[in-house]
Amino acid sequence: MVTAFILAGGKSTRMGEDKALMAGGVERLVLLAQSIGIERVVTLCGSERRRSMFSGEVWPDPPASNSLMDVLYWSLNQVDGTIQLIPCDAFKLEEEGLLALINSGGGVPFDGQGNRQPLLSNCPHGWTPKTDAKSIQDMFSTLPDVNLGSLEKQMQNFNRPFPTES
């Protein structure tokens, strides 16, 4: 079974508005995951006060977490099976891109600029993140690269004002 974790706990300070609500928001990503047959979709919402912003299965950060890395370590240990990460700013992700990630057998995709996107990792059953990691990139460094060819443009995330079509 595949579980999708939608990462929606950030403050979106560089964007100027909450990325979890932009471009169809988390709701679009939940529907996208369900449309390709992912049965369990969990929104990782950040603080408890954000829980009511989302529907479905929503988990606030555990009390001891101080960073996204802490939340990821904790979350990955809560579920048995394959886990697909989806950041809430995956504005260009569509069915074919998500299916390609699920069917990859595990790994970290590249975006259209050739950057590894660990927050879109497909984490196969039995895989564990690097425990002494100093960064999110390092945390997922033991997963292989996933080359998606023309679908790489769907793997982009956004940390600046809303993207224009390219």
Looking up residue 48, the CATH number of its domain turns out to be 3.90.550.10
High-pLDDT (> 70) share of the chain, %: 86
Per residue in 141-166, pLDDT (tens digit) is 999 999 999 999 989 876 555 444 44
Neighbours of 109 (CB within 10 A): 23
What Å distances lie between residue 141 and 16, 80, 110, 131, 155, CA to CA? 30, 21, 13, 11, 17
β-bridge partners, 146: 109
Q: Are 129 and 72 in contact (CB under 8 A)?
A: yes
Q: Are 120 and 158 in contact (CB under 8 A)?
A: no
For 21, which DSSP code? G
Nearest residue to 62 via CA among 80, 82, 77, 41: 77
pLDDT digits (tens, 9 = 90+) for 88-134: 888 889 999 999 999 999 999 999 899 999 999 999 999 999 999 99
Q: Mean pLDDT over residues 53-62, rounded? A: 94
The residue type at 48: E
| Confidence at residue 15, expressed as pLDDT on a 0 to 100 scale | 46
Number of domains comprising the chain: 1
Q: Is residue 162 part of a domain?
A: no
To which residue do tokens 């196969």 refer?
A: 124
Direct distance between the N- and C-terminal alpha carbons of the chain, in angstroms, rounded to an integer: 35
Domain span at residue 93?
Answer: 2-155
